Structure 1
Amino acid sequence: MGSDTVAKKESIHGTMLRIHFARIAFVTVSLPAFSLLFCFLSGIMFRFYDVNDTVCQVINVIPSISAVTGILPQAYVWRICIGLHATPRFAVGIMYYNYYMERLHLISSKHQSLYRNLLRLNFWLYTIENSCLVGVTYISNKENYPIHEKIFVVFMVASNCYMLLNTIIYRWSREATMSSSEQLSYKIKKWMFIAIISATAGLIFFFIRHRFFCTPFAFSYFSACEYVIAYTNMTYHLSGYLEFQDYYFIAALVSPAKETKNGDAVTVDEGSPRKPVLRRRTGDNSL
C-alpha cells in the first residue's frame, strides 16, 4: 500500500455488557431444543391420548409438534422459550448479512451485483423463517387451524430456501482452500440441508396418506419427520457459531472513528478540523 493509506478506527470503552457469541448461540438454540423435548415427554407421559388424537381416529403413537406444544401447561413453556430465542436470531440475521458483505472482495466483479441481490434475498428468507416460527407458535392449530397451517407452510418454504441459498453463499464467499472451521461449518450446513429436504419429502408424503387416506400410523411418521426437521434446523443455525466464534455482543461507549495512516494514529484538531494532527504509536500497541 502507498504512504497515503488511511483507515478509520473506533475506540470502544466503558463496557457494561460483554457476552461471547458462543454463549448466545448455545443458549438461543437450547431454548427451543429443550422446551420441545420437555413438551414431547410430558405430553406422552401425562396426555398421551389427547396429543395423539386425530380427525381420522386411527392408531397414532407419535404426536405432532403442534399437538404437544398446544396443550397446557406445555404451551406456556414453548411460547416463552420461542419468544426468548427469537430476538437474538433477528440480530444474527443482520450479522450474517454484514459478514457476507465484508467478503464481497472475494467475488469476481462481474458477479458482485448478483451476490448483493442474493444476500438481500437470503436476509429476508431468514427473517421470514424466524417470524413464521413465532407466528406458528403463538397461533396454535387448536385456536385457528387454517392460519396455523398457512404460516407453517410459509415457514417450511422459507426455511428450506434459506438453507439452500445460505449454503451456496457460504461456499461461494470462501477462498479455494477453506480453514478447518470453515470446512466443518460447510459440512454441517450441507448435511443438515440434505437431511431436512429428505424429511420434508417424507412429511408431505405421510401428510397426504393421513389426510386423504387415513392410513394407520401415517400421522406418526409425519410427526417423526417434523421432529427431524426441527432438530436439523436447530443444528444448521447452531453452525453459525463457527463463523462468529471470535465475536462478542457488547454494550459500551463508542468514540468517534479516528484515522490511522500507515499505523500512526491521526486525530483531528478541534480548532482546525481539516488539519489532522499526527501522533506516532508507542509501545507494542498493534493498532
Structure 2
Amino acid sequence: MDPLVEIPVPKLAFNTVLLPLIGLIFSILWSLCFDFNRTTATHCGVINYLPSISAAIDQPPSSVVWKICIALHSAPRLLIAVIHEMKARKLGTSRCQSIKAFFNLSLNTIEVFSLLILTMMSSTEYKLWHKIGFITYIASSVIYCCGSSICGTGDRKESKKWKRILCIIYLLSLSSSMYFYYRHNTYCEDQVYTLFALLEYIVVISNIFFHYVASFDFHNYSISVQEN
C-alpha cells in the first residue's frame, strides 16, 4: 500500500534548519534597516555597526518572527534526533555504543528545550530563566557538538568530515566571541562589540549547519504515514 504522506529525511532536515536561519537573517536585516540606533547602542556609547542577536530579536516584528521560527523548528529537530539515535542504536555493536547514542539524544533534546526557554523568556521579563536557558543551551550544544563529531555511531565519512569542520568553527567562534564580549565590557573600545556580534552570528550559523549535516547520514531515509 502506498503511503498517504512520505517525506525524505534530508528534505525535512533542510526545511528545519532553514527556519532559524530565516529568523536570524530577517531579525538582523530589520534591525540594520529600521532600528539601527537602538539595536547597535552599547552601554558605554562606543562606535558599533552590528546588533547583537539578543538586541536584534528583542522587539517586534523581529521577536515574533524569531519565536515562530524556533517554535516551528523544534518538533522536527527532536524527531530527527530520535531517528538518529535509533539508527545509532541499531548499528551499535556494544552496550557502550548504545549508551553513547542515548547520551547524544539526551544532549540534543536538552539543547532544543533550552533554546525554547532562551527564546520564549526574554532577559528583561524572565531574567533568571533566560540566563538558565542560555547557560544550558551553550553547555549542551558544546558537549553534543564535540561528542557527535568525535564518536558518531554509523555516520558516513562525508558527515564526519563536515561535523568536525563545523564543530571547530563553532568552538573557535564561540570562544572568540566570549573574548571580545569581555574586552568590550572591560575596555569599551570602538567596534569591538561589532566583532562580538559578527562572531555571534557565526556561532549560530555554524550550529545550524552542524545539525543539518546529520541529514547526510539519512540520504535514503523517509518518514511515511500509512493506513493500517
State the partner residue of 1:64: 52
Note if contact 1:160-1:197 (Cα within 8 Å) is conserved in structure 2.
Answer: yes
Which one is further off, 128-137 or 140-149? 140-149
What is the CA–CA distance in structure 2 between the aligned matches of 1:210 and 1:131, rounded to whole Å? 30
Among residues 15, 19, 29, which one is paired with 2:17 in the alignment? 29
Note if contact 1:69-1:75 (Cα within 8 Å) is conserved in structure 2.
Answer: yes
State the partner residue of 1:10: none
What is the CA–CA distance in structure 2 between the aligned matches of 1:58 and 1:153, rounded to whole Å? 27
**More strand by percentage:** 1
Once the two structures are superposed, the pairs formed by residues 1-287 of structure 1 within 5 Å of their partners are 13=1, 15-105=3-93, 112-170=94-152, 173=154, 182-254=156-228
Note if contact 1:28-1:85 (Cα within 8 Å) is conserved in structure 2.
Answer: yes
State the partner residue of 1:109: none
**Partner SS state of residue 229, structure 1:** helix
What is the CA–CA distance in structure 1 between the aligned matches of 2:115 and 2:8, rounded to whole Å? 25
Larger Rg: 1
What is the CA–CA distance in structure 1 between the aligned matches of 2:194 and 2:118, rounded to whole Å? 20
- Deviation of the 1:212 alpha carbon: 3.1
Number of aligned pairs?
A: 228
- Deviation of the 1:21 alpha carbon: 1.4
- Deviation of the 1:70 alpha carbon: 1.2
2:47 alignment partner AA: I
1:25 alignment partner AA: A
Note if contact 1:14-1:253 (Cα within 8 Å) is conserved in structure 2.
Answer: no
2:74 alignment partner AA: A
- Deviation of the 1:185 alpha carbon: 1.1
Note if contact 2:123-2:131 (Cα within 8 Å) is conserved in structure 1.
Answer: yes
Note if contact 1:70-1:142 (Cα within 8 Å) is conserved in structure 2.
Answer: no
How big is each residue's C-alpha offset from its partner over 1:197-231, in whole Å with a ceiling of 9 and x where there is no partner?
10111021112112333333222221111100111
**More helix by percentage:** 2
How big is each residue's C-alpha offset from its partner over 1:20-61, in whole Å with a ceiling of 9 and x where there is no partner?
212211111111111211110111010001111222322221
Structure 1 regions of 5+ residues with no counterpart? 1-12, 106-111, 175-181, 255-287
1:193 alignment partner AA: C
Structure 2 regions of 5+ residues with no counterpart? none
User: CA distance change for structure 1 residues 212 and 136 in 2, over 3 Å: closer, same or farther?
Assistant: same
User: CA distance change for structure 1 residues 84 and 166 in 2, over 3 Å: closer, same or farther?
Assistant: same
How big is each residue's C-alpha offset from its partner over 1:90-131, in whole Å with a ceiling of 9 and x where there is no partner?
1111111111011113xxxxxx23222222221111111111
Q: TM-score, normalised by structure 2?
A: 0.93
What is the CA–CA distance in structure 2 between the aligned matches of 1:22 and 1:193, rounded to whole Å? 20
Note if contact 2:122-2:130 (Cα within 8 Å) is conserved in structure 1.
Answer: yes
- Deviation of the 1:14 alpha carbon: 5.8
**Partner SS state of residue 18, structure 2:** helix
